[in-house]
Structure 1
Protein backbone atom coordinates (compact mmCIF):
# COMPACT_ATOMS: atom_id res chain seq x y z
CA UNK A 1 0.00 0.00 0.00
CA UNK A 2 1.16 3.53 -0.77
CA UNK A 3 -0.42 6.46 1.04
CA UNK A 4 0.40 10.13 0.47
CA UNK A 5 0.49 12.58 3.39
CA UNK A 6 0.56 16.37 2.91
CA UNK A 7 1.03 19.34 5.23
CA UNK A 8 -2.56 20.53 4.75
CA UNK A 9 -3.79 17.22 6.25
CA UNK A 10 -1.28 17.06 9.11
CA UNK A 11 -2.42 17.51 12.69
CA UNK A 12 -0.80 20.79 13.82
CA UNK A 13 -0.17 21.74 17.42
CA UNK A 14 1.40 24.89 18.84
CA UNK A 15 4.10 23.98 21.35
CA UNK A 16 6.46 26.30 23.23
CA UNK A 17 8.59 28.09 20.61
CA UNK A 18 7.39 26.05 17.64
CA UNK A 19 4.59 24.48 15.67
CA UNK A 20 4.62 20.71 15.23
CA UNK A 21 2.88 19.16 12.22
CA UNK A 22 2.23 15.44 12.75
CA UNK A 23 2.19 13.78 9.35
CA UNK A 24 2.18 10.12 10.23
CA UNK A 25 1.64 7.78 13.17
CA UNK A 26 -0.51 4.93 14.47
CA UNK A 27 -3.52 7.26 14.79
CA UNK A 28 -3.73 7.93 11.01
CA UNK A 29 -1.93 5.00 9.38
CA UNK A 30 -1.03 1.33 9.69
CA UNK A 31 2.28 2.28 11.38
CA UNK A 32 2.81 0.61 14.72
CA UNK A 33 6.22 1.77 15.87
CA UNK A 34 6.97 5.26 14.62
CA UNK A 35 5.63 8.75 14.11
CA UNK A 36 6.89 11.47 11.80
CA UNK A 37 6.35 15.21 11.88
CA UNK A 38 7.72 18.58 10.89
CA UNK A 39 8.73 20.95 13.67
CA UNK A 40 8.91 24.63 12.64
CA UNK A 41 10.82 27.06 14.89
CA UNK A 42 10.54 30.78 14.07
CA UNK A 43 13.85 32.64 13.73
CA UNK A 44 15.22 33.41 17.20
CA UNK A 45 13.12 30.78 18.98
CA UNK A 46 14.79 29.04 21.93
CA UNK A 47 12.16 27.14 23.94
CA UNK A 48 13.06 25.23 27.08
CA UNK A 49 14.16 21.71 26.37
CA UNK A 50 12.47 18.43 27.15
CA UNK A 51 13.00 14.69 27.44
CA UNK A 52 11.35 11.83 25.58
CA UNK A 53 11.45 9.18 28.31
CA UNK A 54 11.02 6.11 26.09
CA UNK A 55 11.35 7.38 22.51
CA UNK A 56 14.41 7.94 20.38
CA UNK A 57 14.20 10.91 18.04
CA UNK A 58 15.99 11.26 14.73
CA UNK A 59 15.99 14.83 13.43
CA UNK A 60 16.75 15.94 9.86
CA UNK A 61 17.28 19.65 9.17
CA UNK A 62 15.22 20.62 6.12
CA UNK A 63 15.66 24.39 6.26
CA UNK A 64 17.24 27.10 8.40
CA UNK A 65 20.07 27.18 10.91
CA UNK A 66 20.31 26.42 14.61
CA UNK A 67 21.36 23.72 17.02
CA UNK A 68 20.27 20.89 19.29
CA UNK A 69 21.76 21.36 22.76
CA UNK A 70 22.07 18.76 25.52
CA UNK A 71 24.15 18.75 28.71
CA UNK A 72 26.74 16.56 26.96
CA UNK A 73 26.91 17.93 23.41
CA UNK A 74 25.77 20.52 20.89
CA UNK A 75 24.88 19.59 17.30
CA UNK A 76 24.88 22.45 14.79
CA UNK A 77 21.95 22.32 12.35
CA UNK A 78 22.07 23.30 8.70
CA UNK A 79 20.09 21.81 5.81
CA UNK A 80 21.05 18.18 5.25
CA UNK A 81 22.29 17.49 8.80
CA UNK A 82 20.82 14.55 10.72
CA UNK A 83 20.94 14.30 14.54
CA UNK A 84 19.94 11.34 16.73
CA UNK A 85 18.69 11.87 20.30
CA UNK A 86 18.65 8.78 22.52
CA UNK A 87 15.68 8.08 24.81
CA UNK A 88 15.89 9.90 28.13
CA UNK A 89 18.25 12.61 26.81
CA UNK A 90 17.40 16.19 27.72
CA UNK A 91 17.64 18.37 24.61
CA UNK A 92 16.67 21.88 23.53
CA UNK A 93 16.48 23.43 20.06
CA UNK A 94 17.68 26.90 19.12
CA UNK A 95 16.76 28.64 15.85
CA UNK A 96 19.27 31.23 14.62
CA UNK A 97 17.40 32.68 11.63
CA UNK A 98 17.07 34.68 9.52
CA UNK A 99 14.53 32.10 8.25
CA UNK A 100 12.49 29.55 10.19
CA UNK A 101 14.21 26.34 11.26
CA UNK A 102 12.34 23.31 9.84
CA UNK A 103 13.13 19.89 11.28
CA UNK A 104 11.75 16.55 10.13
CA UNK A 105 11.37 14.49 13.31
CA UNK A 106 11.05 10.70 13.44
CA UNK A 107 10.13 9.05 16.75
CA UNK A 108 10.41 5.36 17.61
CA UNK A 109 8.28 4.18 19.22
CA UNK A 110 5.64 6.69 18.18
CA UNK A 111 4.77 9.65 20.38
CA UNK A 112 2.00 12.25 20.36
CA UNK A 113 3.35 15.76 19.86
CA UNK A 114 3.52 17.69 23.11
CA UNK A 115 2.99 14.72 25.42
CA UNK A 116 6.57 15.21 26.67
CA UNK A 117 6.29 18.97 27.41
CA UNK A 118 6.26 20.29 30.99
CA UNK A 119 2.85 21.06 32.37
CA UNK A 120 2.23 24.80 32.75
Structure 2
Protein backbone atom coordinates (compact mmCIF):
# COMPACT_ATOMS: atom_id res chain seq x y z
CA UNK A 1 0.00 0.00 0.00
CA UNK A 2 1.31 3.45 -0.93
CA UNK A 3 -1.65 5.64 0.04
CA UNK A 4 -3.72 6.01 3.18
CA UNK A 5 -6.29 8.46 4.55
CA UNK A 6 -5.84 9.80 8.06
CA UNK A 7 -9.49 9.03 8.91
CA UNK A 8 -8.67 5.33 8.53
CA UNK A 9 -5.78 5.38 11.03
CA UNK A 10 -6.29 4.36 14.66
CA UNK A 11 -5.39 6.99 17.25
CA UNK A 12 -2.61 6.17 19.73
CA UNK A 13 -2.77 7.99 23.07
CA UNK A 14 0.54 9.03 24.59
CA UNK A 15 1.01 11.21 27.68
CA UNK A 16 -0.61 14.61 26.94
CA UNK A 17 -0.96 14.01 23.19
CA UNK A 18 -2.60 11.75 20.64
CA UNK A 19 -0.88 10.55 17.48
CA UNK A 20 -1.65 8.73 14.25
CA UNK A 21 1.23 6.98 12.47
CA UNK A 22 0.74 7.16 8.70
CA UNK A 23 4.08 5.78 7.49
CA UNK A 24 6.45 3.41 9.28
CA UNK A 25 6.74 0.02 10.88
CA UNK A 26 3.31 -1.35 11.77
CA UNK A 27 1.40 1.32 9.85
CA UNK A 28 -0.52 0.84 6.59
CA UNK A 29 2.40 2.31 4.61
CA UNK A 30 5.46 0.40 5.73
CA UNK A 31 8.87 2.05 5.68
CA UNK A 32 12.21 0.73 6.84
CA UNK A 33 13.78 4.21 6.85
CA UNK A 34 11.34 6.64 8.46
CA UNK A 35 8.29 7.19 10.63
CA UNK A 36 5.74 9.89 9.69
CA UNK A 37 2.51 10.89 11.37
CA UNK A 38 0.33 13.56 12.92
CA UNK A 39 -0.12 14.54 16.55
CA UNK A 40 -2.53 16.63 18.61
CA UNK A 41 -1.83 18.49 21.86
CA UNK A 42 -4.89 19.80 23.76
CA UNK A 43 -5.20 23.53 24.58
CA UNK A 44 -2.98 24.97 27.33
CA UNK A 45 -1.10 21.66 27.64
CA UNK A 46 2.55 20.67 27.25
CA UNK A 47 4.13 17.36 26.40
CA UNK A 48 6.50 15.89 28.97
CA UNK A 49 10.18 16.66 28.32
CA UNK A 50 11.81 13.74 26.52
CA UNK A 51 14.58 12.79 24.10
CA UNK A 52 15.05 10.33 21.26
CA UNK A 53 18.55 8.94 21.61
CA UNK A 54 18.74 7.29 18.18
CA UNK A 55 16.45 9.37 15.98
CA UNK A 56 16.40 12.83 14.45
CA UNK A 57 12.93 14.43 14.33
CA UNK A 58 11.29 17.10 12.18
CA UNK A 59 8.02 18.73 13.30
CA UNK A 60 5.76 20.95 11.18
CA UNK A 61 3.05 22.94 13.00
CA UNK A 62 -0.27 22.67 11.12
CA UNK A 63 -2.23 24.93 13.47
CA UNK A 64 -1.99 26.45 16.91
CA UNK A 65 0.72 28.44 18.62
CA UNK A 66 2.95 28.07 21.63
CA UNK A 67 6.52 27.23 22.43
CA UNK A 68 9.11 24.53 21.84
CA UNK A 69 11.77 23.91 24.45
CA UNK A 70 14.98 22.33 23.11
CA UNK A 71 17.77 21.61 25.60
CA UNK A 72 16.39 24.34 27.86
CA UNK A 73 16.03 26.98 25.12
CA UNK A 74 12.52 28.37 24.53
CA UNK A 75 11.36 29.37 21.02
CA UNK A 76 7.95 30.59 19.85
CA UNK A 77 6.10 28.41 17.34
CA UNK A 78 2.95 28.94 15.29
CA UNK A 79 1.17 27.61 12.22
CA UNK A 80 3.82 27.03 9.56
CA UNK A 81 6.77 26.64 11.96
CA UNK A 82 9.28 23.86 11.28
CA UNK A 83 11.32 22.38 14.14
CA UNK A 84 14.41 20.21 13.73
CA UNK A 85 15.28 18.15 16.81
CA UNK A 86 18.80 16.71 16.89
CA UNK A 87 19.41 13.19 18.15
CA UNK A 88 19.43 13.16 21.96
CA UNK A 89 18.03 16.67 22.44
CA UNK A 90 15.68 17.15 25.39
CA UNK A 91 12.51 18.72 24.05
CA UNK A 92 8.79 19.34 24.46
CA UNK A 93 6.04 21.49 22.96
CA UNK A 94 3.57 23.70 24.83
CA UNK A 95 0.24 24.55 23.18
CA UNK A 96 -0.61 28.09 24.28
CA UNK A 97 -3.72 28.35 22.09
CA UNK A 98 -7.35 27.82 23.08
CA UNK A 99 -7.74 25.10 20.42
CA UNK A 100 -5.88 21.87 19.73
CA UNK A 101 -2.38 22.17 18.28
CA UNK A 102 -1.87 19.77 15.36
CA UNK A 103 1.50 18.94 13.86
CA UNK A 104 3.23 16.43 11.65
CA UNK A 105 6.32 14.54 12.77
CA UNK A 106 8.95 12.62 10.87
CA UNK A 107 11.71 10.45 12.38
CA UNK A 108 14.84 9.03 10.81
CA UNK A 109 15.74 6.32 11.44
CA UNK A 110 12.26 4.97 12.25
CA UNK A 111 11.13 5.22 15.86
CA UNK A 112 9.25 2.75 18.01
CA UNK A 113 6.25 4.83 19.07
CA UNK A 114 6.31 5.63 22.78
CA UNK A 115 9.99 4.74 23.15
CA UNK A 116 11.83 7.77 24.45
CA UNK A 117 13.83 8.81 27.46
CA UNK A 118 12.08 11.16 29.88
CA UNK A 119 14.22 14.17 30.71
TM-score after normalising by structure 1: 0.88
**Could you report, residue by residue, the CA deviation over 1:92-118 in whole angstroms, capped at 9, with x for unpaired residues?**
110011111111000001112212165
1:94 aligned partner: 94
Alignment size in residue pairs? 117
Specify every segment of 5 or more residues in structure 2 that has no aligned partner in the other structure, as ranges. Answer: none
More strand by share: 2
Contact kept? 1:9, 1:23, Cα under 8 Å: no
Contact kept? 1:20, 1:113, Cα under 8 Å: no
Return the offset for 1:75.
2.7
Between the aligned partners of 2:7 and 2:85, the Cα distance in structure 1 is: 28
Specify every segment of 5 or more residues in structure 1 that has no aligned partner in the other structure, as ranges. Answer: none
1:19 aligned partner: 18
RMSD: 1.7
**Residue 63 in structure 1 maps to residue 63 in structure 2:** yes
Q: Secondary structure at the match of 1:97?
A: coil
